[in-house]
Structures are given as structure tokens and as C-alpha cells.
Amino acid sequence: MRVSCTPVNIYDRRYDSAQVKSVELFSLHSAKLVSTVAAVLLILQTFSLGGSSFAEEEHQFWYYFSTSLLILSGGMIGLGCPSWTLKRSGFRDLLIVLLLDRVLLRRLHQTGSKWIHLEDLSDWLNRPEHSIWLWLSLIVGWFTLLLQRTMAIRRYSANRHPLRFVCSLPVLSLTLITFGQLAYRWAVASTKSEWSVITARLVYSFLVIDCLVLWYWRRSNRLTTELLVSKSSSSPDWTQNSFDVLHPIGTFPLLICLLGRPSVSLLWIGVIWKEYFLASVMQRLWDRSKWSEAQPSRWHLSCCWLLYWIQGWTTYFEQVSWFFNS
């Protein structure tokens, strides 16, 4: 934790103390309700694992559980937030997370004994006659990932000059990985074993470079990735907290994209985007809390942790069987 007397502006607009205390994305009542519902359902889910029939289809529980909490969170934002601009931003991010979960990530592959025999989107893309759609999806997916990293850097950068964002080291390292991954897929599809080995080794090297670059970027920008406290005359005002999605561990999904089937890349690109928008929701929830009171901080923190925990389990069931069967 870093204590600073100088507030750091990590957004296009600066949120001062009075504005934060006057407008909340989540009220204390909303945070209590969402946290309580999530905690109760987690306890019930833990006890229900004693039944073998339920454990076999546990992933279905997490799908409906995460969807219900996202809808409940959206309802609490709609009922409690008086600012239409802030409310619209929260609705947008929650809707994108919901669509990624229910429309893209779950449709990419079927899990569970009742659905495993059904054709999924990945089976359709892996057919030889649909290779053009697979290639188009991969190209679009990787370039949207470049866009996501540029947006993440822009969010936490003090300099708003566009060239600085595009030419930053994290974007350049991801650009190398993008072209390396596409070149590797082309070499494998062309049955050129020599080129596939060379391109795979290049991608491994680029992944190491990307991990080091993200570590250096995070270390050099630690003032915007830590919890900042602006001291006031009465009590600390907790107004800045960065849920940073750029971390060296973010290189691991890119490694799985290389090890798995081509359609695995689409899954993990969607997971990275989902994490980005979920972090945006928690960022607004955190910044717009009344930090002058001790009780709301505990409930809002619990709400953030539970939302992230549940989405993590949903992602696990979306990808684990697919990865090991690749």
C-alpha cells in the first residue's frame, strides 16, 4: 500500500472527494444484498457436492449462478445509482460480460455428460470446409486483444497521446506474439514441420519477452496500480484503486493459445476480455464507494471478491476439459 498526498489521475475525468461521496455505483444495501446472496449460494453449493448426480453437472450450477449474480448486480445498479452516465457504463460492462459468458464462451464447447455429444462452435470451426471462418475469427480475435491491451494502458497512463499507447512496450510485445501465433498456425495448416518448429520457438521467446515487459511496465507504473490514499484534515479519503489487468501472469493464457487447438485461442481471448470488463465494473464500484465510512468498505470489498471468485470458477468450467482434450 502506498500513501500519497498527491492524487493520481488515471481516468479521463478526475473524481474528487465530494463527487465520490455524492454518487455511488453500488449503495451499501446493494453491496450487502449481492454479497449475502453470493455467500449463501456458495455455502449451499459446497454442501450439495455430497450428491454425486449434482457434482457431475456442477458446471451448470456455475453458469446459472454467475448469470444470476450479474443480473442482480445490474438491477442494484439500476435501482441505486442516481447518475445515468455512471449507470450506463456499469450496465454496458455487465452486459458484455454476460454476453461473453452465455453467447461465446459457453457455446464454444459442450461439457457435461448430457451435452458432450452435441456439436459445439469449436467443432464447427475445426471442420476443413469452415477453415476460412476459423482463420477470420483468429485474426479478428488477436487484433481485438491488441486493442484491449492498448485500452488497458490508456486507462492507467497519465499521458494521453495516442502514439504513446500504441508504441508502448506491452503493445509491441503482444504484436510480436500475435504475428508469431498466426505464423505458427499457418505453418501447421500448411504441414510445413520445419517452419512450425521455428515459429513455435519464436513464440516461446516472444512470450518470455512479454512476461518481462509486463513485469517492467507494472513495476514502473506501480503508482497507478496500487491503492492510493489522499490524506485530508479529518480522515483518509479512499478514492483511487486500480484493478489492473496487465500482469506478468497474463502471459500464461497466451501460452495456452499456443499449446491448444486453434479454437482455444478464441476461448482465452474471450476470457481476457471478460476479465477486463469485470475489472472495469469493480473499478467503478470501488471508486464510487463512501470511503469515509468503515462499514461500506468491507461490504464493497466482499462484493468485489465474490464476483471475481464466481467468474473465475465459471471460466474454469468453460475451459478445463477443452484444454486437456486438445
Question: Helices 251-259 & 262-287, crossing angle to 10 degrees?
Answer: 160
How far apart, in whole angstroms, are the C-alpha atoms of residue 115 and residue 138? 26
Note down pLDDT in tens along the chain; length 326 residues.
333 333 333 333 333 433 444 456 777 777 888 888 888 888 877 777 666 555 456 667 777 888 888 888 888 887 777 677 778 888 888 888 888 887 787 777 666 556 666 677 877 888 888 889 989 999 999 999 999 888 888 766 655 555 565 558 889 999 999 999 999 999 988 877 788 899 999 999 999 999 999 888 887 766 544 444 333 334 333 334 445 678 888 899 899 888 888 888 888 888 888 888 888 887 777 665 554 444 556 777 788 888 888 888 777 777 655 544 45
Print the domain residue range for 319.
2-8+15-324
Within 10 A of 1 (CB to CB), how many other CB atoms are there? 6
Nearest in space to 26 (alpha carbons), one of 244, 291, 226, 252: 291
In order of 38, 52, 64, 110, 306, the CA distances from 57 in angstroms are 19, 9, 12, 12, 22
Residue 53: the pLDDT is 53
DSSP state letters, 114-183: TTTTS--HHHHHTSGGGHHHHHHHHHHHHHHHHHHHHHHHHHH-S---HHHHHTSHHHHHHHHHHHHHHH
Contacts of 77 (CB under 8 A, 6+ apart): 25, 26, 30, 87, 90, 91, 94
Report d(CA 230, CA 2) in Å as an integer: 10
Q: What is the number of structural domains in the chain?
A: 1
In this predicted structure, what is the pLDDT of residue 292? 42
Q: Return the pLDDT at 227.
A: 40
Q: So what's the pLDDT on residue 138?
A: 92
